[in-house]
Chain A
């Protein structure tokens, strides 16, 4: 009986190993791109810590769009928060409030939402409806 089962077990094992390898080959490029974008986010936060808000704010929207397209919600929320943070430091409070509001609306469960709420509370209310943000994704 074992003699009959052994080839079948080997074939099953080989088939399962092949499927696992194929799945790994499909997910590996996505993980690599995600790591690259995560590194880019770290680099942009470094720019913000150095006070280079204008430079960082010009690169964040595309990065946030890539995180959103891959459903990486924590990083997408954090990217949007840092965009609002840059607008706040660049003395563009209306645009900052709009971005913070979007973080609260789209990513209420993420840690960035708590920070966005705190910062939004410190921003004075705009007197008129804010214009659409150029870097926004709505």
Chain B
């Protein structure tokens, strides 16, 4: 459908033209009857669309004048026949001296019939006039009816066009609404994309800002590093000198340390020798004439280790020392009850010493310089005796 056909005015004109052509064809089909004289020809409004009466009355109206003329001719014939017959009857009768009564009656009758014929003619003329008037009114009514029909057709066409127009408009509106919704969706999608792009831009902006700040910080750091490097270079020279001095000092210290280690080794040897001599002297003093486990038992009994443990345990300040004294008491009680003649007793006692880790614990306690004097003496004597037991073992 092109643009010209879309316009309602153009389409209306086309429809009206088409309707007028159809009506002209329809009106041209039946032949028009001859009009009586005196009847005015109907007014020609438009050659294309002459006004027409309704289809049901149209044949009657066309042939009514002819029928009326035929009826008048028939009536005139009947009158002439009757008159002629009466005259023939008069001429044939035997008493023709004067008009017979029958002829007179017939003349009267004929006169009466003529009078009636004249009246009938008048009535016919009146009827013809009425018919003319009726035809004029009918023409007028037909014209108005045609106008009304035309207007109605126009109105229906206009209504149909309006309906079409509204439907088209509705369709167009729906299409436009759909298009609008689509555009809205596209706009929303675009807005989302724009929002995402904005977020990306914000992030990139932040990254750029951070990178700029980081760049500035790195520049500052680089400048600081350069300064530190310069300072380090300067310090390095000083450090190298100091290092050389320290190396020399370290070498001297190593020499001194080796000297000190040598002296310490000699002192340890001397101390060990002294401790061995002391142990021998202690054992010899405590257990004169005894040997082995029996000698150690005798030494412990002479030193009264068990009883002293119970006595001085209360003087210990630390719980660990009190616990150590309890262990010493138990171990020396066990030593006292060993059978010197049983070879397995020495082994079981050595196992007990290993289990309690007693010698190491005594050494740890003796290293405590704040230890009570009596406790130190007891632990030292216990250490000497246990050393003798180990030597025996």
Question: A and B, one complex?
Answer: yes
Interface residues of A (CB under 8 A from B): 42, 45-46, 48-51, 74, 78, 81, 85, 89, 111-112, 114-115, 118, 122
Known contacts A45-B352, A74-B339; is-contact A51 B310 (Cβ 8 Å): no
Q: Of B307, B331, B337, which is in contact with the most chain A CB atoms at under 10 Å from its CB?
A: B337
Known contacts A42-B352, A46-B352; is-contact A122 B336 (Cβ 8 Å): no
**Contacts of B334 on A, CB cut-off 8 Å?**
45, 49
List 8 tightest A-B contacts by C-beta distance, closest first: A49-B330, A111-B337, A49-B356, A46-B355, A42-B348, A48-B330, A49-B327, A112-B337
**Contacts of A118 on B, CB cut-off 8 Å?**
306-307
Is the Cβ of B337 less than 8 Å from the Cβ of A51? no
Complex A-B: 15 CB contacts under 8 Å: A42-B348, A45-B330, A45-B334, A46-B351, A49-B334, A49-B355, A49-B356, A74-B339, A78-B337, A81-B337, A85-B330, A111-B336, A111-B337, A115-B306, A118-B307
Known contacts A42-B351, A49-B330; is-contact A115 B356 (Cβ 8 Å): no
Is the Cβ of A115 less than 8 Å from the Cβ of B307? no
Is the Cβ of B356 less than 8 Å from the Cβ of A50? yes
Q: Give the number of chain B interface residues (Cβ < 8 Å).
A: 19
Cα–Cα distance between A113 and B307 once the two chains are bound (Å): 16
Q: Which residues of B from 338 to 369 have beta carbons under 8 Å from A? A: 338-339, 348, 351-352, 355-356
**Contacts of B326 on A, CB cut-off 8 Å?**
51, 89
Is the Cβ of B331 less than 8 Å from the Cβ of A49? yes
**Contacts of B323 on A, CB cut-off 8 Å?**
51
**Contacts of B355 on A, CB cut-off 8 Å?**
46, 49-50
Is the Cβ of A115 less than 8 Å from the Cβ of B339? no
Is the Cβ of B310 less than 8 Å from the Cβ of A122? yes
Cα–Cα distance between A51 and B338 once the two chains are bound (Å): 20
Is the Cβ of A115 less than 8 Å from the Cβ of B352? no
Shortest C-beta distance, B336 to chain A (Å), equals 6
